[in-house]
């Protein structure tokens, strides 16, 4: 979590605080409008420098690989910093740092192997397509998994040949700056990656800058919608990875131990602050009571606490304000008759009183259209709803505006395949959950946004595809025979 404070020279700083106890972790200067202008102009100029513009793909790939290696070499420090900045349990933070290094290496490989195309010719010419960088990219990243989200945007944008203006979340401004420093040390030319921290105005200034030709945003749906509206008049392309309200659907033939563990991990990993959280548990009516009891029993035993401890599985939320939002959902659910099976408020442990903790919470007894069942709470809160059969499961799964991810627990593979087609979700997991590979496209449908990140085509959103027709010697054109003097 972070707050803004003025400095003596009249500028402002973001002060990052460790969510666990509010202690200061570090400070970064807030970017001014003039900083945004300067960075955007430098970015546009850097993209046009022959040293970058004409760099051959394998040479650009070498820089990306070097950034990945630098992240890996500094992994322990980056993971500690990530945990302090956002409160992520250290085991998860280490995995995110490793994934960031892997993301740079993956896009290095993509960069080296990307090919144009030779569409079938329909006339006396040779037709080619090739790709050019779309322009300066504005990347706006969230606070829940900063280094992974940042790598996911920076690496493909650089692989495409673009320059990046990175606006990290005001809650977690520290790691992005470290990644930019490592990238510079790894040989990334000046101006190609600038981090612009801020709170309240910098995001808009970056998106609105005329040099920016592509925006990649991960965050809340309301903000994503505003960004899309701002970009539309200039036809600036957007990729929006927004919220989710993922269902985990449990059939009676699911392997029970795996499904219970998956339901608990899906709902409470990252303290539920994950767009791909399974925050709705849809359980077949024949097993719902027993399954809920098993989930509640496991949730009560989850180690909640100081995220620096390796045994911690559920850390603090990002801020007091966010906890208030999460608890408001729980309070409303209780007022509307929800059964609270566990949690429902801060944990009893007095050592956790200084941080914005919420105990893993399981609710049932709500109608499917209750806000706790349809809106993204983004905290360790899961609602349980029973379903009758396959059609009912699909109806409930699709009963929100979101469409990011879904999980199905069943021993019936054809059923799982049918559901993966019928449920609105950019990603479906069957008998596993929250597994994400940089090689697989990721993104949502409906209010979960548009566009796909990652995957072999992850670079393409940062490029413009161009067609080239190469006339063959003396091939006649329709106006052949016209006298040319």
Is residue 169 close enough to count as binding ligand NDP by CB under 6 A?
yes
C-alpha 106/C-alpha 83 separation (Å) is 25
> Which residue is it, tokens 């300067």?
38
The residues in 113-152 that bind ligand NDP, with binding defined as CB under 6 A, are: 140, 142-144
Q: Which of 173, 219, 344, 455 binds ligand NDP (CB under 6 A)?
A: 219
Name the minimum Å distance from CB 203 to ligand NDP.
2
Nearer to ligand NDP, 132 or 324 (CB): 324
Catalytic-labelled residue, pool 13, 171, 178, 241: 241
Rounded Cα gap, residues 55 and 43, in angstroms: 16
Burial string for 310-325 (b: 16+ CB within 10 Å, else e) reads eebbbbbbbbeebbee
Nearest CB to ligand NDP, comparing residues 201 and 413: 201
Residue 483 CB neighbours (<10 A): 4
Q: Integer distance in angstroms from the first to the last C-alpha of the chain?
A: 73
d(CA 186, CA 183): 5
Binds ligand NDP (CB under 6 A): choice among 170, 178, 306, 453:
170
- What counts of helices (H) and strands (E) characterise the chain? 15, 17
For the question of residue 162 being annotated catalytic, the response is no
Query: Shortest distance, CB of residue 243 to ligand NDP, whole angstroms?
Result: 5
Please work out the total of residues on this chain that contact ligand NDP, with binding judged by CB under 6 A: 28
DSSP state of 10: S
- Find the shortest distance in angstroms from Cβ 312 to ligand NDP: 21
**Strands laid side by side in the 246-250 sheet:** 339-342, 361-364, 381-387, 278-284, 246-250, 405-409, 427-430
CB–CB of 270/326 below 8 Å?
no
- Choosing from 162, 231, 275, 373, the catalytic residue is 275
Select 201 or 440, whichever has its Cβ closest to ligand NDP. 201
Contacts of 367 (CB under 8 A, 6+ apart): 373
Closest-CA residue to 291 (of 370, 384, 405)? 384
Catalytic site residue 275? yes
Q: Nearest distance from residue 231's CB to ligand NDP, in Å?
A: 9
Task: Report the site for ligand NDP in 371-400 (rule: CB under 6 A).
Answer: 376, 378
- Is residue 302 within the footprint of ligand NDP (CB under 6 A)? no
- Binding ligand NDP (rule: CB under 6 A), the pick from 167, 214, 280, 341 is 167
CA distance readout (Å), 113 to 2, 57, 162:
41, 8, 17
Sites for ligand NDP among residues 255-284 (CB under 6 A):
275
Radius of gyration of the chain (CA): 24
User: What is the closest distance, in whole angstroms, from the C-beta atom of residue 142 to ligand NDP in the complex?
Assistant: 3
Q: Does 200 bind ligand NDP (CB under 6 A)?
A: yes
Q: Which of 241, 306, 447, 453 binds ligand NDP (CB under 6 A)?
A: 241
Under 8 Å between Cβ of 141 and 198? no
Find the part of the chain contacting ligand NDP (CB under 6 A) among 15-23, 83-91, 195-203, 452-460: 195-203
Nearer to ligand NDP, 186 or 205 (CB): 205
Question: Binding segment for ligand NDP among 64-72, 197-205, 395-403, 426-434 (CB under 6 A)?
Answer: 197-205
- Residue 251 vs 268, nearer CB to ligand NDP: 268
Q: Is there binding between residue 227 and ligand NDP (CB under 6 A)?
A: yes
The active-site residue out of 153, 245, 434, 454 is: 153
Convert residues 333-372 into a mask of x (bound to ligand NDP by CB under 6 A) and - (unbound).
----------------------------------------
Q: Following DSSP, what letter does each residue of 113-173 receive, concatenated?
A: H---B-PPPSSSEEEEEEEEE-SEEEEE--SSSHHHHHHHHHHHHHHTT--EEEE--TT--
Active site residues: 153, 241, 275, 453
Residues forming the site for ligand NDP (CB under 6 A): 140, 142-144, 167, 169-170, 198-204, 207, 218-220, 223, 226-227, 230, 241-243, 275, 376, 378
């Amino acid at each position: 979590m972070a707050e803004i404070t003025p400095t003596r020279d009249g500028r402002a700083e973001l002060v990052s605080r460790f969510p666990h106890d509010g202690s200061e972790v570090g400070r970064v200067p807030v970017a001014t409008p003039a900083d945004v202008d300067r960075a955007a102009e430098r970015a546009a100029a850097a993209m046009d420098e022959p040293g970058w513009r004409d760099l051959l793909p394998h040479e650009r790939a070498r820089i990306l690989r070097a950034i990945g290696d630098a992240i890996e070499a500094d992994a322990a420090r980056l993971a500690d910093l990530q945990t302090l900045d956002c409160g992520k349990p250290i085991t998860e933070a280490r995995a995110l740092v490793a994934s960031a290094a892997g993301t740079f290496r993956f896009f290095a490989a993509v960069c080296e192997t990307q090919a144009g195309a030779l569409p079938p010719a329909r006339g006396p010419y040779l037709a080619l397509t090739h790709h050019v960088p779309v322009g300066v990219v504005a990347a706006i990243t969230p606070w829940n998994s900063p280094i992974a989200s940042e790598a996911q945007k920076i690496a493909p944008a650089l692989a495409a040949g673009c320059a990046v203006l990175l606006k990290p979340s005001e809650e977690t401004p520290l790691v992005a700056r470290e990644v930019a420093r490592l990238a510079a040390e790894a040989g990334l030319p000046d101006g190609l990656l600038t981090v612009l921290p801020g709170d309240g105005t910098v995001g808009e200034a970056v998106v609105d800058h005329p040099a920016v030709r592509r925006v990649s945003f991960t965050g809340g749906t309301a903000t994503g919608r505003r960004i899309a509206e701002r970009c539309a008049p200039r036809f600036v392309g957007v990729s929006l990875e927004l919220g989710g309200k993922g269902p985990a659907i449990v059939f009676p033939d699911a392997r029970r131990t795996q499904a219970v563990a998956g339901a608990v991990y899906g709902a409470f990993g990252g303290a539920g602050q994950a767009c791909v959280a399974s925050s709705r548990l849809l359980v077949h009516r024949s097993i719902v009571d027993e399954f809920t009891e098993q989930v509640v029993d496991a949730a009560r035993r989850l180690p909640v606490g100081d995220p620096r401890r390796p045994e911690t599985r559920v850390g603090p939320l990002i801020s007091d304000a966010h906890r208030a939002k999460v608890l408001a959902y729980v309070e409303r659910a209780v007022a509307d008759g929800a059964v609270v099976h566990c949690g429902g408020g801060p944990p009893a442990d007095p050592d956790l009183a200084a941080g914005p903790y919420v105990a893993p919470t399981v609710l049932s007894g709500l109608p499917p259209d209750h806000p706790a069942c349809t809106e993204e709470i983004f905290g360790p809160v899961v609602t349980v709803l029973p379903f009758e059969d396959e059609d009912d499961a699909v109806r409930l799964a699709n009963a929100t505006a979101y469409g990011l991810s879904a999980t199905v627990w069943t021993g019936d593979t054809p059923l799982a395949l049918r559901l993966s087609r019928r449920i609105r979700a950019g990603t479906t997991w069957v008998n596993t959950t929250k597994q994400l590979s940089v090689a697989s496209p990721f993104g949502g449908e409906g209010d979960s946004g548009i566009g796909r990140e990652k995957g072999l085509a992850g670079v393409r959103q940062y490029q413009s595809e161009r067609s080239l027709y190469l006339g063959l010697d003396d091939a006649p054109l329709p106006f052949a025979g016209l006298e040319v003097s």
